Amino acid sequence: MKQLYHIAFSIAVSAVLLLFYACSHKRDLKQTKSGEIERKIDSLLSIMTLEEKIGQMTLFTSDFNVTGPTIRENYKADIKAGKVGAVFNAFGAAYTRELQKMAVENTRLGIPLLLGYDVIHGFRTIFPIPLGEAASWDLASIENSARIAAVEATADGLHWTFAPMVDIARDPRWGRIAEGAGEDTYLGSVIAKAKVKGFQNGDLYKTNTLVACAKHFVAYGAALAGRDYNIVDMSERTLREIYLPPFKAAVEEGVGTIMTSFNEINGVPATGNRMILTDILKIEWGFDGFVVTDYTSINEMVPHGVVMDEKEAGKLAVNAGVDMDMQGAVFYNYLAESVEQGGDGTMSRIDDAVRRILRIKYLLGLFEDAYRYCDEQKEKELVLLHPDHIAFARVMARRSIVLLKNKGDLLPLDQNITTLAVVGPLADNKKEMIGPWSAAGDYTRCVSLLEGIKKQAHPNTRILFAKGCNIDDTHTYLIREAVAVARKADVVILAVGEAAWMSGEAASRSMIGLPGVQQELVKRIYETGKPVIVVLMNGRPLAIPWIAEHIPAILETWFLGTTGGDAISDVIFGKYNPSGKLPVTFPRNEGQIPIFYNAKNTGRPISDNKYTSKYLDVPNTPLYPFGYGLSYTTFEYSNIILNKNEISYKDTLKAMVEVTNTGPEKGEEVVQMYIRDLAGSVTRPLKELKGFQKIKLEPGVTTRVTFTITSGDLKYYDINMEYKVEPGDFVLFIGTNSIETREAYFTLIE
């Protein structure tokens, strides 16, 4: 007995030790700064020359692919000379090994390179664009898609991704809305955390985790008039309440790096903005990682007009808090000179920057083995579209689809249709389906919608195809053939939308309807009188009022990536009941932009009275609101029950609602909870998302959903810009989208 006890005791001790060992080897910024690493950095810094330090602060692109003006072609010579500490747009185990070797074997100190890439929505297996993934409101899946991307990218020699983009975007003209989580700060913040978790997995030392980079800091999504790179002019309140929180969330999750944005904020370019980069990010939030610029954004401070030349720009950037210069070669060319000329505490800033960069390299384990990510064997196993990754991509893709309309339950389709027409420029198109920023994804491996439909339709169903037009045609010659095909069919599936290049960087559109003659195609197909299902593929909300009014069934599918055609077919044939909800408002027309759900009431809220806040020619309501999305089943909400009607600062409030699946199918629903502060020391939005739960219900089943609210959830920046709660009356809403909600009232007392 005693012996048994002894054995059990030793097992327990070993387990604890093992756990301790495992934990103590976890390395990321969330752990307290490791004294050992800091000491190693101290000794390295003490022997580094100024040139070597500046080298660490320099990031150049390789010749793989570039996303802006290329101003350095001899990056290999620079690596060997110790003049570059990080390289991007280079991947592959063999190639990254070759580059790494140049740094480790040729330079005096042998400091390894950091290798980065834009792994935005998958690496080889491509997932839906981030805006699409956000429509899933499924944090576990979003985390998993980032995890898989990290597994694939690290197997190809990469350490660092320039993702997630956590810019809030309220203007769908801005093409980069595709890369983020949409318009809402709360949803954007929880998704930011999920992605950082997925990429970094709480341990940068593991060879299958990538250092994440929250970008673009900050307010890039608020570019005036939705035109990319345009200026941003906004109050500190809006900046702090709407645009900063997703970055703060990423920092809380231990994000290793932050990228500055191209835009100016209130007259000061982000890349030279000390308030943003140092006061808020590094001091207020305690960020210990490093700040990298966006592509040549230091150089761009010259045309911005805050400095006369690049040398001044470099000084401004480094002193504002920039640690690494992406591609601009400004630090490379001028920083040493600036230091030699003295002043400004630039040298201590350089030491701090290098410390931050070396910290990340130590956390990655690169000093122990510079080649630990260059594993040809692992690359072979993982990069060639691993079946598990593909299977999950399909799960993620179908969860990202939003059913916008389903009049007369046209969907799901009966598999035994005699003739099905699959029409439209995006119907048999793999190239666009992969979406913008598709990393090492190979579009030829995508499943087109036509292929997906063919796989799932009944073998006896005749499937006809016609393109109808190209995405941006100016002529209508091809429409006639599509109409003829539609006439022969029982049902028409019509895939329309944007090309991948129409969203993403430098892809703003002033008009956001269907490009080219696609609207004409839709009209002509509709006029055949056949039941039509419109499948939208796009990187932004589209203004499609005519389609919304006339077409009976509409699916928003964004750009779904590698498994797009399979996922859409799963929904069309009812293998999967759609559960996505819009993470962004769809306007009726461009004139309504910016339009977003958490607007303010104004002193003259809309009414029948002429002198109220409205347009003469379009309602104030959107085409589809934030949080909107249908299912093949229906959900009914009961009244909200609150456990208290009055809470103090220390209390928690519980809000309960019963949700019943009243339809014929099992399905999922995103139950959304919003709050309005009725009177504050400054005006408050009409509604703000404060929580959501994605639930699954069998037909006829009711479940109780409970939300817990603390006074912390009610905080905001008051009239003195203090982040705090104010006592008063609040409305709590729970519902199926941001407009259709039930409400309850409570009071917060001091």
- Among all residues, which ones are annotated catalytic? 294
Edge to edge, the sheet with strand 728-735 lists 646-648, 741-749, 728-735, 667-677, 688-697
Task: Please list, in sequence order, all residues whose beta carbon lies within 8 angstroms of the beta carbon of residue 480, skipping any fewer than 6 positions away.
Answer: none
If one asks whether residue 162 binds ligand BGC (CB under 6 A), the answer comes out as yes
Compare residues 162 and 635 and give the one whose CB is closer to ligand BGC: 162
Compare residues 68 and 728 and give the one whose CB is closer to ligand BGC: 68
If one asks whether residue 167 binds ligand BGC (CB under 6 A), the answer comes out as no
Q: Do residues 85 and 54 touch, judged by C-beta distance below 8 A? A: no
Q: Do residues 740 and 643 touch, judged by C-beta distance below 8 A? A: no
Total binding residues toward ligand BGC, as defined by CB under 6 A: 8
Structure tokens, 447:
């499943």
Helix (H) or strand (E) holding 301: helix 301-304
> Min. distance of Cβ 552 from ligand BGC in angstroms?
39
> Min. distance of Cβ 308 from ligand BGC in angstroms?
24
Compare residues 215 and 389 and give the one whose CB is closer to ligand BGC: 215
If one asks whether residue 300 binds ligand BGC (CB under 6 A), the answer comes out as no
Compare residues 138 and 505 and give the one whose CB is closer to ligand BGC: 505
If one asks whether residue 438 binds ligand BGC (CB under 6 A), the answer comes out as no
Compare residues 95 and 229 and give the one whose CB is closer to ligand BGC: 229
If one asks whether residue 501 binds ligand BGC (CB under 6 A), the answer comes out as no
Q: How far is Cα of residue 417 from the mean position of the Cα atoms in its chain?
A: 38
Helix (H, G, I), strand (E, B) or coil at 178: helix
Quick one: which of 143, 294, 325, 668 contacts ligand BGC (CB under 6 A)?
294
Amino acid in position 725: V
Burial 379-391 (b: 16+ CB within 10 A, else e): beebbebbeebbe
If one asks whether residue 67 binds ligand BGC (CB under 6 A), the answer comes out as yes
Distance CA 663, CA 701 (A): 10
Residue nearest to ligand BGC (CB): 162
Compare residues 153 and 514 and give the one whose CB is closer to ligand BGC: 153
> Min. distance of Cβ 85 from ligand BGC in angstroms?
16
If one asks whether residue 143 binds ligand BGC (CB under 6 A), the answer comes out as no
> Min. distance of Cβ 301 from ligand BGC in angstroms?
16
Compare residues 67 and 736 and give the one whose CB is closer to ligand BGC: 67
- Beta strand residue intervals within 9-94, DSSP E: 58-61, 86-88
Compare residues 224 and 506 and give the one whose CB is closer to ligand BGC: 506
Pick from 432, 425, 500, 491: nearest CA to 461: 491
> Min. distance of Cβ 120 from ligand BGC in angstroms?
8
Distance CA 434, CA 84 (A): 33
Pick from 296, 306, 299: nearest CA to 266: 306
- Beta strand residue intervals within 390-513, DSSP E: 402-406, 419-423, 462-466, 491-497
> Min. distance of Cβ 136 from ligand BGC in angstroms?
23
Q: Do residues 518 and 535 touch, judged by C-beta distance below 8 A? A: no
Helix (H, G, I), strand (E, B) or coil at 320: helix
> Min. distance of Cβ 666 from ligand BGC in angstroms?
40
> Min. distance of Cβ 167 from ligand BGC in angstroms?
10
Compare residues 160 and 692 and give the one whose CB is closer to ligand BGC: 160
> Min. distance of Cβ 118 from ligand BGC in angstroms?
5
If one asks whether residue 100 binds ligand BGC (CB under 6 A), the answer comes out as no
Burial 522-561 (b: 16+ CB within 10 A, else e): bebbbebebbbbbbbbbbbbbbbeebbeebbbbbbbbbbb
If one asks whether residue 118 binds ligand BGC (CB under 6 A), the answer comes out as yes
Q: How far is Cα of residue 577 from the mean position of the Cα atoms in its chain?
A: 24
List Cα–Cα distances, 506 to 210, 214, 520, in angstroms: 26, 19, 27
Task: Please list, in sequence order, all residues whose beta carbon lies within 8 angstroms of the beta carbon of residue 217, skipping any fewer than 6 positions away.
Answer: 247, 258, 259, 260, 261, 270, 276, 277, 281, 291
Structure tokens, 561:
């990536």
If one asks whether residue 505 binds ligand BGC (CB under 6 A), the answer comes out as yes
Query: Cα torsion for 74, 80, 81, 86, to the nearest 10°?
Result: 80
DSSP state of 625: -
Quick one: which of 53, 121, 197, 215 contacts ligand BGC (CB under 6 A)?
215
Q: Long-range contact list for 34-41, CB < 8 A, 24+ apart?
A: 37/359, 37/362, 37/363, 38/359, 40/362, 40/367, 41/355, 41/358, 41/359, 41/362
Compare residues 437 and 730 and give the one whose CB is closer to ligand BGC: 437
> Min. distance of Cβ 207 from ligand BGC in angstroms?
23
Compare residues 67 and 429 and give the one whose CB is closer to ligand BGC: 67
If one asks whether residue 295 binds ligand BGC (CB under 6 A), the answer comes out as yes
Q: How far is Cα of residue 508 from the mean position of the Cα atoms in its chain?
A: 18
Quick one: which of 68, 202, 552, 680 contacts ligand BGC (CB under 6 A)?
68
> Min. distance of Cβ 563 from ligand BGC in angstroms?
25
Interface contacts to ligand BGC, rule CB under 6 A: 67-68, 118, 162, 215, 294-295, 505
